[in-house]
Amino acid sequence: MIRTVSLFFVLLAVWLLLSGHYTPLVTGLGVFSCLLSALIAHRMDVVDHEGQPLHLGPRIIPYWGWLMAEIFKANLDVAKCILSPKSHLRPSMFTVTASQKSDLGKVIYANSITLTPGTVTVDLDGDRVLVHALTVGSAEGVKAGDMDRRVTKVMEEHL
């Protein structure tokens, strides 16, 4: 039931942020729709530990900070490619192994690669991740395995 309550508050927060209308009637209808959606999701038994990963708790916040810094650095790398493609653009495809044991950990890892400009996860099959990279630097960044280790640490999985 705690995941359903958490889902309600997440839905409500998103609704309040996106709505922009805070009259009593509109706010009341928004609260009602969020509550109804959370109850329907609970009744359908679709609120689980992967859909509402409360178990990640505060461990994910430092990872988000690190990921934002990596995204910023990768944006600079992509900007170099745009300004002088002949000297920086070296596209490649390669496979790396995801050390995460859970599906949620693998998805977080694959999505983190895709969120970083200049790299895209093309395929995730078991523990094999097929990645496309625009530059040698972005390819080496993924191959170095720092992101993989950090996601594994967030998931509290041991290598």
Nearest to 124 by CA among 106, 150, 145, 148: 106
Mean pLDDT along residues 36-57: 80
Contact 124, 78 (CB under 8 A): no
Give the H or E element holding residue 85.
Answer: helix 85-88
From residue 11, how far is each of 19, 36, 70 by CA, in Å?
Answer: 12, 11, 29
Q: In the structure encoding, which two tokens stand for residue 4, read together? A: 């359903």
Q: What is the pLDDT of residue 49?
A: 65
pLDDT single digits (tens) 65-104: 999 999 999 999 899 889 988 888 899 999 999 999 988 8
Provide the residue ranges of all domains of the chain, joining segments of one domain with +.
Answer: 2-43, 58-154
Which of the 8 DSSP states describes residue 102?
A: S
Q: How would residue 50 be classed by pLDDT, with cut points 50, 70 and 90?
A: low
Q: What is the pLDDT of residue 157?
A: 55
Q: What is the pLDDT of residue 69?
A: 95
Mean pLDDT along residues 53-60: 73
pLDDT single digits (tens) 117-159: 999 999 999 999 999 999 988 999 999 999 999 999 988 854 4
Q: What is the pLDDT of residue 51?
A: 63
Q: In the structure encoding, which two tokens stand for residue 50, read together? A: 């992967």
